Amino acid sequence: MRNRSSIPVLRGISIAFLSIAIVITIISLIGYSRERNNYPGGMTIGGVNVGGVNPQIASERVLQVYSSPIEVQYGEAVIHVEPSAVGFELDIDSMIAAADLARTGGSFWVGFWDYLWNRDPEPVEVPLSSTIDENRLVAYLKNEIAARYDEPPTPAQPIPGSTSFSPGTPGRVLDIERAVRLIEDTLRSPNNRTVVLSFQRSAASRPTYQNLEILLQQNILVADFDGVIGLYLLDLQTGQEIHFAMNQGQTIPVNPDIAFTASSTVKIPIMVSYFIKYGADALNEQSSNLILDMIRKSENPPADRLMESLDALQGPLVVTEDMQKIGLENTFLAGFFCSAENPCPLLKRFSTPANQRTDVFTDPDLFNQTTPSDAGMLLADIYQCAENGGGALIAAFPDKITSEICQQMISYLAADKIGVLIEAGVPEGTQVAHKHGWISEPSSGVIKNISDAAIVYTPGGNYVLVIYAYHPVQTVWEPVSGLFAQLSQAVYNFYNLPSQ
């Protein structure tokens, strides 16, 4: 009897447990179904955590992250850039669809079983799907960032009242190609929304020849030189020129150029004519001694002997003809030097475009005249001939003038070491191939003309610099020779700027 009465109890207990199990299962199914409506824990869309939220909230999260401005740092500037402004667009629909597929694509019952056992699903990472209009990005970089925040280089500037230049500053130019890559990476990052743009340094530009010309003229004004001064500068790399003249502190035209007494600078044409006459045969010890005495010691008797070898009576006119053949129409020699005690006759009177000017007067010697530009162009021809076999000398006298001869002529000119005038304006050791000149009045010893014509070799570039100065009363040596040195120093500093 007892056994029969226990059966209903057991049955009731079984039914109760079964009912409880069914209820728990139903509750679990409901919980799992609700959880299945959301994305599983650990899921990310484009790196944004969307675990445990539904597609709508997930979409909002992703849009919020990727629509937030990125911070762009460029130099000292901080710019906040809206992604839409540079053509960035999210393909949110495709990412949500991929996330939904990962959420619902597996077996329901397998997922339910894992749910019952509290097993976390494997994290799912949905990659970012987006597009960037690179053309819009490049345009934004150019128009909104580079145009506003690039910094142009500032050129070295002349320091007023001096012979020096202040160093320039390099510029800053946005590296657009690299900036595109950096910004694209930042736009696609959910966490790192700051980017530092790189840039390129543009070298500080050089001062212009106009800057140098102004500086040279300022130095003449500061020196208070009230005579006539002519200056010719030629860049031997580019062919750029500075050519001006001043009379009593006022600039005057230089076309045609101004005639000056050539004095000893005319010995450069004498040397050139000697080589035109004899070519390589002039490269001997006797000729070298005569030329060196004429150039280095600035003696007149060797100059007369060299001209006599050209033509015993008409030597100076031969020199003049040679200069005319290479286009120097304002340079001439009309007689031998001889001496004040034993003067030589004037062989010919020359009228040139320069000495026919009536607006300026330098009392040019009837025996020898030139202009700053003529003297400068002759030196440039010698330089080009020596460097590369070019120039008017070789073109006019190909059978006599060679590069070797021109190199020798420069060596002779480099032997003229006096330590003043143009030489005084450059550092010691700088090669200056030049010929200086001045004339003292025989009766009074007063100097009215000072000149120097040079090829200057420097680390920053080689150039021809020619300066002629005349004063109707007296060209006082100390201030005027110092002015030559200052002008020379200004040109040297222009070519050899201080470190940036």
Total length of the chain: 500
User: Do residue 174 and residue 217 come from a single domain?
Assistant: no
Residue 188, classed as helix, strand or coil, is coil
Low-confidence ranges of the chain (pLDDT < 70): 1-6, 17, 19, 21, 23-38, 41, 102-122, 499-500
The rounded distance, in Å, linking the Cα atoms of 490 and 500 is 18
Long-range CB contacts for residues 348-357, cutoff 8 Å, separation at least 24: 348/317, 350/320, 352/256, 352/259, 353/256, 353/257, 353/329, 354/256, 354/257, 354/258, 354/259, 354/330, 355/259, 355/330, 356/256, 357/256, 357/258, 357/259
Structure confidence at residue 203 (pLDDT): 80
In a domain, 16, yes or no: no
In terms of domains, do 197 and 215 share one? no
Q: Tell me, yes or no, whether 188 and 278 share the same domain.
A: no
Domain membership flag for residue 27:
no
Same domain as 119, residue 55: yes
- Residue 496: DSSP 8-state: S
Residues in contact with 198: Cβ distance below 8 Å, sequence separation at least 6, in sequence order: 175, 178, 179, 182
Looking at the structure, do residues 151 and 299 belong to the same domain, yes or no? no
CA distance 445 to 431: 31
Same domain, 193 and 281: no
Residue 273 and residue 157: Cα distance in Å, rounded? 42
Residue 115 has what pLDDT?
47
Last residue of a domain, one of 171, 202, 233: 202
Q: Is residue 10 part of a domain?
A: no
Spatial strand order in the sheet of 194-196: 77-81, 70-74, 194-196
Pick the last residue of a domain from 202, 237, 262: 202
Mapping DSSP to helix (H, G, I), strand (E, B) and coil, where does residue 470 land? strand
359 and 485 belong to one structural domain: yes
At 1 the pLDDT is 46
* pLDDT tens, position by position, 30-83: 654 455 556 776 788 888 888 778 888 878 888 999 999 999 999 889 999 999
Its domain, for residue 156, covers: 36-202
Q: Same domain, yes or no, for 228 and 331?
A: yes
Q: Domain check: are 178 and 197 in the same one?
A: yes
In a domain, 255, yes or no: yes
Question: In this structure, is residue 436 part of a structural domain?
Answer: yes
Flag whether 171 is in a domain: yes
pLDDT, position 121: 62
**Phi and psi of 22, rounded to 5°?**
-65, -40
Which amino acid belongs to residue 290? L
Do both 355 and 312 map to the same domain? yes
List the beta strands (DSSP E) in 248-325. 250-252, 260-261
230 and 141 share one domain: no
Q: Is the peptide bond before 256 cis (omega within 30 degrees of 0)?
A: yes
Q: 86 with 115, same domain?
A: yes
Of 213, 236, 234, 230, which is closest to residue 490 (Cα–Cα)?
213
What strands, in cross-sheet order, belong to the sheet with 431-440? Answer: 250-252, 241-247, 228-235, 463-470, 447-457, 431-440
Domain boundary among 182, 202, 222: 202
Residue 1 lies in a domain: no
**Is 4 contained in some domain?**
no
Q: What is the CATH classification number for the domain harbouring 401? A: 3.40.710.10
Q: Distance between CA atoms of 266 and 334, rounded to whole angstroms?
A: 11
Instruction: Count the domains in the chain.
Output: 2
Residues 6+ apart with CB under 8 A from 364: 259, 260, 261, 355
Q: In angstroms, rounded to a whole number, what is the distance separating the alpha carbons of residues 472 and 449?
A: 9
Query: What local confidence, expressed as pLDDT, does residue 125 receive?
Result: 81
